[in-house]
Structure 1
């Protein structure tokens, strides 16, 4: 008899997943302490790039459309947020709203053109648009983007709403949420709250009929077209939603560090979110966030190692052997931390094609099998067994 899953059971599991995710995110300053990653700036990046990866997974994980240009929306969100700080107010709420709105409109325009193609052609189109945006921001649109020096808040900015409410200020104000500065742990918890909200929205999309249609597009788009279903509006909607997530992440980058530079639009930033999603598990809810945490941890922790740190770590070895070990290890840390990331990515692709979440599922299945083995070995006594034993 096959097991049946009632809608109430699915909703209950989703609620438990959401509560577990929220608890894990909000307590990150505690359980990240043993790993040396509990300082606010890094925790903020975990949350921000977790949002970026979760949004990218809505497009790539559900529809199968691989975009190499999502950094464009990250950069647009950052520039929009900084302009909101300069023109309106340093309160972060208007900046976040405008960053999401402008990035969504920008994604609508790019998606409308790019989604006329699929497969590698779609990927190349998105990459081309992102590089165009990078070059425009770096050189052509310098009155808007401030070019290579980056756009940032200055003392002479009009800040119309702030000036109207509290008068002109001779100082450069800090970004805030109704007076609470977006630095340190307050900034992290603001990003964490939006991360939990973004995760909830992604969960609802995945469980909805719209999410089912997106998975159908990934499974066999041609078959849907043959049955009369026009798939492009669904794919475009997923592209725009993903762009809004990227704009939110870009806006949060500007809220916690109020400047915006063209480097956020580079193709390497687009490739990074692809790696985050694949590393954690494409099409899963938790996987993209885990991938973002792993990559940002490696970037910020491993890249901080230098020769002095390595000599201190391997000082117990003989001098000749110590120098050799330091030279070899130095290739994988510091400026060469990308080699560590590449090696980890290769191992996961070879042995765990489904990413970290596939490893979690395998371990869970193994533990369930070990628990079930003792019960399977105990056979319930039957009347025939009792008669044979003379009972």
Structure 2
């Protein structure tokens, strides 16, 4: 147990800084116009989703295009828990993580019989089957295209047993009846799980299990030739990653108690991959940065319209203003995906390691005169004679 919680000074510093950045979001996001609860909740939830996906993709190299299925399973499980048992988010999240883990175990057991592009196609196929099942076949469970929502006549047996009564409006998820999970309290509830998830991922990266996953990514064929069975390790990583996605899906239902099949579409899985690559595959903080960046563009840039742009460029001459607005409007509002695509193209072309590689390059500029150059009074050691 001590080995699990023992951390190097660098890991402790990283964890403290990350926790401070997450908890202080309402302050430092103010200048960016993003310090409102709904967006900060998305930052926390999709950060959890990205770091969980990175356990699989970043450490083992297995690229899954089906992780949105686990996101949907977590959401549906949480909403059903609210409907049947209680509006307390803790049981809902526990069941969401368990159900997503079991679902990931079943899919991973089949998909991990193949590797490379074949593994990716299998996970994509499973995700699309899950989407179609949720959208049409399993409508008694998922409510089809309408989505699963709370209703006044839901039994909620645990809440009823403890005398919780409805005032005629739909209930809100609440922590033991004390704090409603919306607004700033909802954000901090999600933020705590993001910090816990980051800590778990940090421990996985530094553990012998994480080193084994890196070895599998480096050369799985050589490990198989030595007689080492890699499947239990890759399957464990797949299940852990699926449980993170289930937790993210459960938190979505906690902050907004509904679940729809659209959360299981292949485009949602592609967005998870995009977040991880944009931030930096295999890094601890990179996927979280990628998730925050994408969600910021989605919610801020997509809200810009021509009237906002006209106000923004009002200082320009009329003809120039109109021209600039017409050009800029292609990259914001409904066209914000074009901006995201350009950013992704630039990052992949010039920063193959993602945003974290860019941060490292910037850091190296300040350390250029550091340890790379020998000190003036330092003599370069003579080369040892060849043996």
TM-score by length of 1: 0.93
Match runs of 1:208-223 below 5 Å:
208-223=207-222
Please, which runs of 5 or more residues in structure 1 have no aligned partner? 1-7, 382-391
Tell me which moved more, 60-69 or 354-363: 354-363
Structure with greater Cα Rg: 1
Residue 187 of structure 1: CA displacement? 0.4
Secondary structure at the aligned position of 2:155 is classed as coil
Structure-2 residue corresponding to 1:20: 17
Distance in 2, matches of 1:380 and 1:78, equals: 62
Distance in 2, matches of 1:317 and 1:83, equals: 55
Match runs of 1:1-391 below 5 Å:
11-169=8-166, 170-178=168-176, 179-371=178-370, 379=377
Secondary structure at the aligned position of 2:352 is classed as coil
Residue 319 of structure 1: CA displacement? 2.1
Distance in 2, matches of 1:151 and 1:160, equals: 18
Quick one: structure 1 residues 10 and 86, their matched pair in 2 at CA, closer, same or farther if it must change by over 3 Å? closer
Q: Of Structure 1 and Structure 2, which has the larger fraction of its residues in helix? A: 1
Residue 168 of structure 1: CA displacement? 4.4
Distance in 2, matches of 1:360 and 1:309, equals: 32
Secondary structure at the aligned position of 2:331 is classed as coil
Residue 377 of structure 1: CA displacement? 6.6
Distance in 1, matches of 2:274 and 2:199, equals: 22
Q: CA-to-partner distance for each residue in 1:33-66, whole Å, 9 max, x for gaps?
A: 0000000100000000000000000000000000
Residue 325 of structure 1: CA displacement? 1.2
Alignment: residue pair count? 374
Distance in 2, matches of 1:29 and 1:291, equals: 19
Distance in 2, matches of 1:10 and 1:90, equals: 37
Secondary structure at the aligned position of 2:14 is classed as helix
RMSD over aligned Cα atoms? 1.8
Secondary structure at the aligned position of 1:369 is classed as coil
Distance in 2, matches of 1:9 and 1:38, equals: 34
Tell me which moved more, 165-174 or 352-361: 165-174
Distance in 2, matches of 1:167 and 1:250, equals: 26
Residue 320 of structure 1: CA displacement? 2.1
Please, which runs of 5 or more residues in structure 2 have no aligned partner? 380-387
Distance in 1, matches of 2:297 and 2:100, equals: 29
